[in-house]
Structure 1
Amino acid sequence: MRLIDIDHDAAVTFPAEPFRIRHGLADHPLLTLDALAGLAGRLDRDRVEYNSGKLQPNQPPDEVPGLDLAPTDVVRQIETCGAWMVLKNVETVPEYAALIRDALADARAAIGGADDDGMTDFQGFIFVSSANGVTPFHIDYEENFFVHLHGEKFMHVFDNRDRALVSEPDLETFPGKHRNLSYLADFEERATVYRFEPGEGMFLPYTWPHWVRTGSDWTISMAITWKSPRDIRMNRLYLANAMLRKLRLPQPAPGRYSAYDSAKVMALATLQAVVNPLRRSEGMRRRLRALLFGRRANYYYGGERKV
């Protein structure tokens, strides 16, 4: 089996809508608990986020309980510690970068795409969760091949075109913004629920809202992500709108004024060309987030807070 295997008929809506996939990563040696405990100790601290998994879909960001454990101990004790963890940007470690490249190559081949089909800025996020945990309602700013590796997991997915669920301001993003979004119980009437066992997964498109729960066993999953040129443009536009909104300058929804959108995108691209080289070190990333967006932008350093 390919690392990512896609039924051609299921992928006819790619990349506009979700669909199920299968994969050959469940037994990969880089994705065992032992390997991930070692990875948690190798990554920069701002690329390791964890907290209690005892949350609700509508969990307020300021009320997320933490854990009094070191990152490696969270992984090693995941069967009993009631935790949720994400290891971010694992592509910064060479062997994981190679694995992600190979998986995306298999996905492109299965879909029928070329090597230069717009899958740029690939990244990897690995989730390690205790039983009966919840990842609250949120959106992600990448295209995602989600692969499930251990245990049982359920993903509640919502259509990203429904502005009754996620408003235009909520779509806007900036570094350090907490992922959790406002969720109401009646949203669930609009959800499609996907159940995953090891070897199963799905394609989740850019900014499709979702929340996740685990079953009665601990779990490992991985998000293999990339951005299309359109995604990169939209991310810049959302960031520009968020920054201007923080200056009390409300912004029109993307697409209403194309020339204005283009001007904001060009300005952000210029700013990022200056700032991105400064973000290579963890210390500088932390200082920049605090300077531009306040100290609360570094919320994921609070992982050691006690429950």
Structure 2
Amino acid sequence: MTATLRASATDIATRYPLRHFPIEHDLAGHPLLQLPRLIELTKQLEKDRIEYNSGKLQPNQKPETTPLVDLPPEEVVAKIESAGAWIVLKRVESVPEYKAMLEQALGSIARQFGFDSLDSANFRDIEGYIFVSSANSVTPFHCDNEDNFFVQLRGPKFFHLFDNEDRSLVSEEALESAPSKHRNLPYEPRFEERATVYDLKPGQGVFVPYQVPHWVRTGDDYSISMAITWRSKAVVRQNKLIFMNAWLREKGFPQAAPGRKPALDGLKVAAYTAMRSALEPLRRSERMRRLLRSVVFGKKANYYYEAQKAAEQKKAA
């Protein structure tokens, strides 16, 4: 089955890559994206590639008060109509048939952009994230550090998008990213007057640019969605820089916004690259990723394992 994305020529010419715009796709009926296959996918993925919790959240949800769900991941997906949950299956490109589907979809829109390959379109570090959500679930206000074609596959979803240059909504410091920082951002109801809300149905989607603040809610039926993400060279460099800014700020050193001190920015990027090169071989193993998370987060290193512990304790009680 084909996997194609489509956007209007006007949006491609005037809005890409800095502004969001609607897209269409033919992925809703794809066999890899149906509920029975997704149940099997939860068993294929390494367990630290699965995150889930209750869907009964608010846009301004505090991470430490997020309610959990006492089910293994395959049951969350199987019972999504009644589970009151939200689950994301991360890095699905690690499964070859999903990787092929993602690359085919991105290749289709790369050609609309006028490119003959994913690399020439600057579609690199391609990753896939599949979201399965119960009715009336909320994903809190946050930003993502990659570009994203978000496609709606089943059920309704409302995508609230904001201006990624409006620092009255999200400050430079809040945009900085580090493992010790949760993705949820402070949100106030007054922000909504500046939101663009996409009412997505199966076959529809939206281009979500790098670090655009947003929050998402489902409608009165369960939802399946997918984020097809990538990082250009410029985004990879920016991510290195904001990581270093966050790390140095945590150490007590105030940091200038990216671009204010170009020479210093270059040194930070070089330092990050050197450190990451030493760690990258370790991150290929789930066991080592878990260990590295425990060093940073302590007991809150990974939700799946914490939920697993809670379920085991409940059975033992």
> What is aligned with 1:11?
12
Distance 1:266 1:295, change over 3 A: farther
Q: How does 1:29-44 map to 2 (within 5 A)?
A: 29-44=31-46
> What is aligned with 2:54?
52
CA distance in 1 between counterparts of 2:250 and 2:3 reads 46
Please tell me whether the aligned partners of residues 66 and 302 of structure 1 are also in contact (alpha carbons under 8 angstroms): no
Q: How does 1:149-188 map to 2 (within 5 A)?
A: 149-175=153-179, 177-188=181-192
Please tell me whether the aligned partners of residues 52 and 303 of structure 2 are also in contact (alpha carbons under 8 angstroms): no
CA distance in 2 between counterparts of 1:39 and 1:2 reads 19
**TM-score normalised to structure 2 length:** 0.93
If asked which structure has higher relative contact order (CA below 8 Å, sep 6+), I would say 1
Letter in 2 for 1:108: A
> What is aligned with 1:266?
270
Q: Secondary structure of the residue that 1:80 maps to in structure 2?
A: helix
Moved more, 195-204 or 297-306: 297-306
> What is aligned with 1:95?
97
Q: Is residue 2:303 matched to residue 1:302?
A: no
Q: Is residue 2:123 matched to residue 1:122?
A: no
Letter in 2 for 1:40: T
Distance 1:145 1:303, change over 3 A: farther
Structure 1 residue 298, shift from structure 2 partner: 2.9
Q: Is residue 2:234 matched to residue 1:233?
A: no
Q: Is residue 2:143 matched to residue 1:142?
A: no
How many residues are paired up? 306
Q: Secondary structure of the residue that 1:146 maps to in structure 2?
A: strand
Q: Secondary structure of the residue that 2:83 maps to in structure 1?
A: coil
Q: Secondary structure of the residue that 1:66 maps to in structure 2?
A: coil
> What is aligned with 2:137?
133
CA distance in 2 between counterparts of 1:28 and 1:276 reads 33
Q: Is residue 2:282 matched to residue 1:278?
A: yes
Letter in 2 for 1:14: Y
CA distance in 2 between counterparts of 1:301 and 1:245 reads 30
**TM-score normalised to structure 1 length:** 0.96
Q: Secondary structure of the residue that 2:199 maps to in structure 1?
A: strand
**Runs of 4 or more above 6 Å deviation:** none
| Seq. identity, % | 53
Over residues 79-101 of structure 1, what are the superposed CA-to-partner deviations in whole Å (9 max), with x where a residue is unaligned? 11100000000011111111111
Structure 1 unmatched runs, 5+: none
Please tell me whether the aligned partners of residues 6 and 111 of structure 1 are also in contact (alpha carbons under 8 angstroms): no
Letter in 1 for 2:75: D
Letter in 1 for 2:252: R
Please tell me whether the aligned partners of residues 78 and 129 of structure 1 are also in contact (alpha carbons under 8 angstroms): yes
CA distance in 2 between counterparts of 1:77 and 1:65 reads 17
CA distance in 2 between counterparts of 1:271 and 1:247 reads 17
Q: Secondary structure of the residue that 1:121 maps to in structure 2?
A: coil
CA distance in 1 between counterparts of 2:298 and 2:75 reads 30
Structure 1 residue 290, shift from structure 2 partner: 2.2
Structure 1 residue 5, shift from structure 2 partner: 1.3
CA distance in 2 between counterparts of 1:303 and 1:11 reads 43
Structure 2 unmatched runs, 5+: 312-317
